[in-house]
Amino acid sequence: MRMKIGIHGLTSCYGCQLKMACIEEILEVAKNFEIVYWNMASSKGEIEKVDIAFVEGSVVTERDEEELKLIRENADALVAVGSCAIHGGVQGMIFGEDYEEIFREVYGDSLIDYEAKIGEPLRKYVEVDYCLPGCPPEEHEILYYLATFGIGSYPEEKDYPVCAECRRQGYPCILIEKGMPCLGPVTVAGCNAKCPGFNVACIGCRGPVPHGTAWFDSLARTFKEKGMSKEYIKRRMEIFGKQYEKLDEMIEKVFENED
Angle between helices 15-22 and 139-150 (to 10 degrees): 70
Q: Which helix (H) or strand (E) holds 258?
A: none
Q: ∠ CA 97-101-105 to the nearest 5 degrees?
A: 115
Single residue of 72, 117, 123, 194 touching ligand SF4 by CB under 6 A: 194
Task: Confirm if 16 and 136 have CB atoms less than 8 A apart.
Answer: yes
Q: How far is the CB of 38 from ligand SF4 (least distance, A)?
A: 15
Q: What share of the chain is helix, strand, coil (3-state, %, to 5)?
A: 40, 15, 40
The β-bridge relationship of strands 33-38 and 130-132 is unpaired
Single residue of 193, 214, 220, 254 touching ligand SF4 by CB under 6 A: 193
Give the nearer residue to ligand SF4 in terms of CB position, either 74 or 187.
187
Task: Confirm if 83 and 205 have CB atoms less than 8 A apart.
Answer: yes
Q: How far is the CB of 152 from ligand SF4 (least distance, A)?
A: 27
Q: Give the dihedral sign, CA 45/48/51/57.
A: positive
| Site for ligand SF4 contains 4 (CB under 6 A) | no
Give the nearer residue to ligand SF4 in terms of CB position, either 5 or 175.
175
| Site for ligand SF4 contains 242 (CB under 6 A) | no
Q: How far is the CB of 190 from ligand SF4 (least distance, A)?
A: 8
Give the nearer residue to ligand SF4 in terms of CB position, either 57 or 241.
57
The size of the interface with ligand SF4 (CB under 6 A), counted in residues, is: 35
Q: How far is the CB of 193 from ligand SF4 (least distance, A)?
A: 5
Amino acid at 26: I
Cβ-proximal residues to 201 (8 Å cutoff; 6+ apart), any chain? 174, 175, 180, 181, 182, 183, 195
Single residue of 20, 126, 202, 209 touching ligand SF4 by CB under 6 A: 202
Single residue of 12, 53, 79, 149 touching ligand SF4 by CB under 6 A: 12
Q: How far is the CB of 177 from ligand SF4 (least distance, A)?
A: 8
- Residue 104 backbone zone (phi > 0: left; psi -120 to 50: alpha; other: beta): alpha
Residue nearest to ligand SF4 (CB): 184
Task: Choose one: 31-39, 116-124, 149-157, 191-199; the region binding ligand SF4 (CB under 6 A).
Answer: 191-199
Tell me the three state secondary structure of residue 139.
helix
Single residue of 50, 60, 175, 247 touching ligand SF4 by CB under 6 A: 175
Single residue of 4, 5, 7, 16 touching ligand SF4 by CB under 6 A: 16
